């Protein structure tokens, strides 16, 4: 399960924490823990995400956000519950 309700969204640190900003400066991320509390599956999760994103980029020519995602409160922050996208499939996929 991926739970990212608070990653890079601290309102005390960012002026618009809910905005997706790919140019936002990279900060230290504790999503997989740190030191003796690090997640043993972190490297596997990173490799799986890289493969998933590479496959998505190869198979899709255009992804457009149709509406602002809705979020529901969870224990720490708010988790996306609905996100409508328009996806155009790449018809020239190499296999």
Residue 45 in domain: yes
Asked if the structure places residue 17 within a domain, the reply is no
Q: 71 is in which domain, residue-wise? A: 37-89
Q: Is residue 9 part of a domain?
A: no
Over residues 19-27, the mean pLDDT reads 74
Cβ(56)–Cβ(62) below 8 Å = no
pLDDT band at residue 77 under the 50/70/90 scheme: low
Question: Mean pLDDT over all residues of the chain?
Answer: 77
pLDDT at 27: 67
d(CA 8, CA 18): 9
On whether residue 25 sits in a domain, the answer given is no
The arithmetic mean of pLDDT across residues 45-61, rounded, is 89
Q: Which residue has the higher pLDDT, 4 or 88?
A: 88
User: H or E element: which one contains 51?
Assistant: helix 42-59
Number of domains the chain contains: 1
Distances (CA, A) of 66 to 27, 82, 84, 85, 87: 29, 11, 5, 5, 10
């Amino acid at each position: 399960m991926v739970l990212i309700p608070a990653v890079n969204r601290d309102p005390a640190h960012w002026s618009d924490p809910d905005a997706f900003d790919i140019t936002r400066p990279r900060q230290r991320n504790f999503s997989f823990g740190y030191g003796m509390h690090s997640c043993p599956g972190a490297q596997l999760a990173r490799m799986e995400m890289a493969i998933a994103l590479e496959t998505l980029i190869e198979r899709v020519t255009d992804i457009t956000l149709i509406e602002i995602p809705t979020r529901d409160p969870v224990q720490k922050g708010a988790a996306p519950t609905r996100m409508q996208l328009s996806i155009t499939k790449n018809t020239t996929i190499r296999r």
